Amino acid sequence: MTDEYKGSRGSLSGLLPILIFLAVYIGAGIIFQDFYAMPAIVGFLIALTAAFLQNRKKSFQEKLTVVTRQMGDENVMTMCLIFILAGAFSGSVQAAGGVDSTVNFGLSVLPPSVAVTGLFLIGCFISTAMGTSVGTIAALTPIAVGISQKTGLSGAMCVGAVISGAMFGDNLSMISDTTIAATRTQGCEMRDKFRENIKIVLPAAVVTMVLFLVLAGKAEYRLEENLDYNFFKILPYLVVLIGALAGMNVFFVLILGTVLSLIVGVAAGAILPEQIFTVIAKGPDGKGGIMNMYDITAISIIVSGIIGLVKANGGIDYILYHIRKRVKTQKGAQVGIAALSSLVDISTANNTIAIVMAGPVAKDISEEFGVTPRRTAALLDIFTSVWQGIIPYGAQLLYASAGAAALGLSPVDFLPYLFYPVLMGVSALGYILFPRKERL
């Protein structure tokens, strides 16, 4: 057996930092009955420390060089810059009142017979425009609770429609951190990933609409709340969405959206001139904007460093070797990518972190078996979103449960109505197992 062949097998011990992170992160969640008791960044710092303690054949300086070189990779730094700009846009557009106007506009034009389906559609639009599922759930869950209370419709079904719509946009939005992470780790354009992604998930969205229509199509409701909206405030969302789809540079699109949001906000009186810089940095409530992206930016950098040492210690080669032993086809490689991203998301309860962790391994698999970067990016985003939309301990269902406290609903109560995340996974598996003739 040659040294080269040994090297190709990699080493299980190279994966130890990742296994330590999962053990510490999941263990803390179980012990404290709260999967957010330990901030992810702390778990990753523990894993990075473990990675530095491995492989005594290399000096600390050699390991540090590997880590910093990986952290400074062009794709990693580009991803971090996009996170920051996306935070700036999110903070400014929220301060300008774009979220409220968008929600009220959608509810104002909905016929009563499609109340629940309408919640799903509005959730799809808002999450695609805002790039955040949690933000969408926070904005729409109170409306869903109001509809349930006024109509007698199942509160779990109404909120389930909101969650389903939120996961649609989380997966597809051009400014979603999951899209940013998926495309940067695979080195593809956002518009290419979007086109690949939309054709996979659109059948799931259509079937979801039909299911909600059948279950709640005869409902009548009337909201007493003020549904005033200003179409001018919705404009920044539309500009960002259309600009990104048209293939404009993502940096330019986000800067344009931020500037336009500030102009709209100041013109409408929602943002005072002296607040312009504050809302960019912190959002309207002091918890959004660029500041809201600090955690995921720092996590992305730390995880990249960990992956650098994992790769140097043979961990990536170990995974690839065993995948190659079992996977002989392009279909098998895609199933492997789907399984990898699913397991990491179930373990971390954060789809962006899961993509950042699984992305480098998925890229190696895709290159080995000829899967295009756009398909790999779509699969990473889809399958992490599938599980993020249905695990009861994820932020999405926890936020929904908190917003629906008036109805006494727990995260588990939503599960029977989370049609879209489940159908999204089914549709993606269908595309893998029964591909079209086009090149993957």
pLDDT at 7: 41
Please state, in angstroms and rounded to a whole number, the distance separating the CA atoms of residues 340 and 320. Answer: 12
pLDDT at 223: 58
Give residues with Cβ within 8 angstroms of 188, minimum separation 6: 372, 373, 374, 377
Nearest CA-CA partner of 387 in 201, 167, 136: 167
Distance from C-alpha of 313 to C-alpha of 17, rounded to nearest angstrom:
11
* In the chain, % of residues over pLDDT 90: 26
Q: How far is CA 353 from the centre of its chain?
A: 9
**Residue 239 — pLDDT band, cuts 50, 70, 90?**
confident
CB 108 within 8 A of CB 95: no
pLDDT at res. 381: 94
> Is residue 361 scored above 90 in pLDDT?
no
Question: Which two three-digit tokens encode residue 357?
Answer: 């962790």
Residue 265's pLDDT band (cuts 50, 70, 90): very high
Q: Is residue 221 very low, low, confident or very high in pLDDT (cuts 50, 70, 90)?
A: low
Answer for the pair 367, 396: CB distance below 8 angstroms, yes or no.
no
Instruction: Write down the pLDDT at residue 6.
Output: 40
The residue extents of the domains of the chain are 3-433
Residue 292 pLDDT greater than 70, yes or no:
yes
Q: What is the pLDDT of residue 2?
A: 34
Report pLDDT for 207: 96
Interacting residues of 364 by C-beta distance below 8 A, sequence separation 6+:
316, 320
Q: In which band, very low, low, confident or very high, does the pLDDT at 379 lie, cut at 50, 70 and 90?
A: very high
Looking at residue 106, what is its pLDDT?
62
Segment 129-160, tens digit of pLDDT = 777 787 778 767 877 877 777 667 788 998 99
Write the pLDDT tens digit of every residue in 319-338.
Answer: 777 777 777 788 989 998 99
pLDDT top residue among 186 and 401 = 186
Asked if residue 220 has pLDDT above 70, the reply is no
CA separation for the pair 25, 42 (Å, rounded) = 9
Going by pLDDT thresholds of 50, 70 and 90, the confidence category of residue 4 is very low
The pLDDT, as a whole number, for residue 56 is 86
Q: Tens digits of per-residue pLDDT, 194-217?
A: 989 999 999 999 999 999 988 876
- How far apart CA 233 and CA 226 sit, in angstroms, is 16
Cα–Cα distance, 351 to 382 (Å, whole number): 10
* pLDDT for residue 308: 86
**What pLDDT, on the 0 to 100 scale, is given for residue 61?**
93
Average pLDDT estimate for 6-23:
79
pLDDT at 439: 46
Mean pLDDT (whole number) for 361-366: 88
**Which pLDDT belongs to residue 110?**
66
pLDDT band of residue 317 (cuts 50, 70, 90) is: confident
Q: What is the pLDDT of residue 140?
A: 77
* Rounded-to-integer distance, Cα 130 and Cα 117, Å: 20
More confident residue, 262 or 284: 262
Q: What is the pLDDT of residue 241?
A: 67
Between 293 and 276, the more confident residue is 276
Q: What is the pLDDT of residue 429?
A: 94
The confidence score (pLDDT) of residue 132 equals 75
Residue-wise pLDDT for 58-87, tens only, equals: 999 999 999 999 888 776 787 788 778 878
3-state SS of the chain is CCHHHHHHHCCHHHHHHHHHHHHHHHHHHHHHCCCCCCCHHHHHHHHHHHHHHCCCCCCHHHHHHHHHHHHCCHHHHHHHHHHHHHHHHHHHHHHCCHHHHHHHHHHHHCCHHHHHHHHHHHHHHHHHHHCCHHHHHHHHHHHHHHHHHHHCCCHHHHHHHHHHHHHHHHHHCCCCHHHHHHHHHHCCCHHHHHHHHHHHHHHHHHHHHHHHHHHHCCCCCCCCCCCCCCHHHHHHHHHHHHHHHCCCCHHHHHHHHHHHHHHHHHHHCCCCHHHHHHHHHHCCCCCCHHHHHHHHHHHHHHHHHHHHHHHHCCHHHHHHHHHHHHCCCHHHHHHHHHHHHHHHHHHHCCHHHHHHHHHHHHHHHHHHHCCCHHHHHHHHHHHHHHHHCCCCCCHHHHHHHHHCHHHCCCHHHHHHHCHHHHHHHHHHHHHHHCCCCCCC
- Residue 299: the pLDDT is 82
Question: Which pLDDT value is given to residue 112?
Answer: 58
> For 403-419, what is each residue's pLDDT tens digit?
787 788 878 889 999 99
CA-CA-CA-CA dihedral for 21, 295, 389, 235, to nearest 10: -160
In the predicted model, what is the mean pLDDT of residues 368-385? 92
pLDDT at 1: 32
Average pLDDT across the chain, whole number: 83
